[in-house]
Amino acid sequence: MSFTDIGFPIFLVLCLVVLHACWKLSIRKWVLILFSYVFCLSFGFGSVIVITLAAIADFFVGRRLESASNDEFRRRWLWLGLAANLAPLAYFKYSVFAAETFSLLMRHFGFRIPVPSVHLVAIIGLSYFTFAGMSYLFDVYYGKIDASQNASDYLSYLVYFPKLIAGPIARAADFLPQISRGFRITAKDVEIGCIYLLVGATKKLVIADQLAGHVSMIMSTPQRYNGSTLIQGVIGYAIQIYTDFSGYSDMAIGCARLMGIQLPQNFMMPYSSINIAEFWRRWHITMSNWFRDYVFLPLEVNSRGMRNATARASINLVITMLLCGLWHGASWNFVVWGGIHGIALAIYQTYADFRGRPSRSQARSPFHPVTCASRALTLSVVLLGYVFFGTRTLSIAWTYLWRLLTWSRDGIALNSPYILPLTAIVVIVHFLIGKDRNLIEELADYSIPTRVLTYTVLLMALFSLVPSESVPFVYVRF
């Protein structure tokens, strides 16, 4: 089941009716868990088993981390809990990739090691609930939060269906207190929740799904198209993945808001960023913060003996982004993508340490030539990364990049009626609206005529511009 499936609105309404009809908090929690399991079951029984075992392990280890007084015992329990979380991820997501890579490596030494043909069950949302569980264990270990004392609270945190498939990656410190307080909801929450759902559906169905067909053709077979078409393809992919993923996040936040739960923002106008560091503060924010807090900062602490702070931070940024790339998928394409962003972040870190970061008072106009050049450079790095992120193999990515850089004139010239107009819409929104504003939250405070007009326009776009077939969410496969 997906947010864009025909049956999902019925499922959501039924969940909300039953949830808010129950007055007792303990019953509400189990209602939420039940509906989350039904949602999870729509993707297969394997996902239910893995997430349940992970929840049991996290809950038990969290209690042990809190009760143990010996530091050595606490470290052992932490490693045990992390292993319990990472084992399913390693097996279901990376085992085949690791076997193929090892086999390919051995061929260079004259050994032929066949890769066994294994059909692994797809565990939907595996990366996301694994990261949620690991962040909980880290926070309990470092004393940032108390271990959950109620199994139903923790289970509802891990299996909560709006964030299950593709985030946002909510932290237990933010989620569990909301569960304990009860599902408080106001009329304003209902309106804001509906706005999030409406805006998210528009991004996904009206923009991302319209782009998907042509973008997929270009990205999958770049040898067929000329340079101008390849430019369209990578730009179209940038708009597709943004509207697809931010649309999913908006819909997840909207579903949660209707239940009285606030999930964190995941996107804040990322394509308006003036440097690559700012881009990662605005793109997939919850994932960026996760890698910052649980990968980059521990690397910084463990390597503090290195005298040159800039070199240390640069190396740690590259390592962090390589792991971030590998998290996205078991493919060298994602590793290269992570390496590109890691190197870009390291270069910016070196530049910023040398020149100093500008303060807010020194910030230039959005249309200042230096600002525009900075944005163009940042977007160039992002688009370069998308060449590897959006193609299936390294050979296809190199073909795409080579034909793009040499501006190949042979091949099909595809003039998509969707890519340029929809790109223009997204670019205009990024440049004209303050990038630190959240118009969805603000809209509920506008005048009634403004709100009615906005809702009408969005509904008309949904009813008139939605393609006949919905495309699966891009980040579901991660």
The answer to whether 39 and 11 have CB atoms below 8 angstroms apart is yes
Neighbour tally for 34: CB within 10 Å = 14
Catalytic residue among 328, 341, 368, 430: 328
Cis, peptide link before residue 264, omega less than 30° from 0: no
> Do 147 and 140 form a contact (C-beta atoms < 8 A)?
yes
Cα separation of 133 and 158, whole Å? 7
Tell me the CB-side half-sphere exposure of residue 93, using CA atoms within 13 A. Answer: 23
Give dist(CA 346, CA 339) in Å, integer: 10
Token duo for residue 60 = 């038990």
Q: Is the dihedral of CA 121, 124, 128, 130 positive or negative?
A: negative
Q: How far is CA 138 from CA 74, 82, 210, 263, in A?
A: 11, 9, 41, 20
Contact 230, 403 (CB under 8 A): yes
Residue 315 Cα distances to 169, 291, 346, 348, 382, angstroms? 26, 15, 7, 12, 20
The residues near 150 (Cβ < 8 Å, ≥ 6 apart) are 180
Sign of torsion, CA 337 338 343 347? positive
Does 430 qualify as catalytic in the annotation? no
The answer to whether the beta carbons of residues 284 and 266 sit under 8 Å apart is yes
Region label for 473, one of left (φ > 0), alpha (ψ between -120 and 50) or beta (otherwise): beta
Q: What is the Cα gyration radius of the chain?
A: 23
β-bridge partners, 33:
none
List residues with catalytic annotation: 328
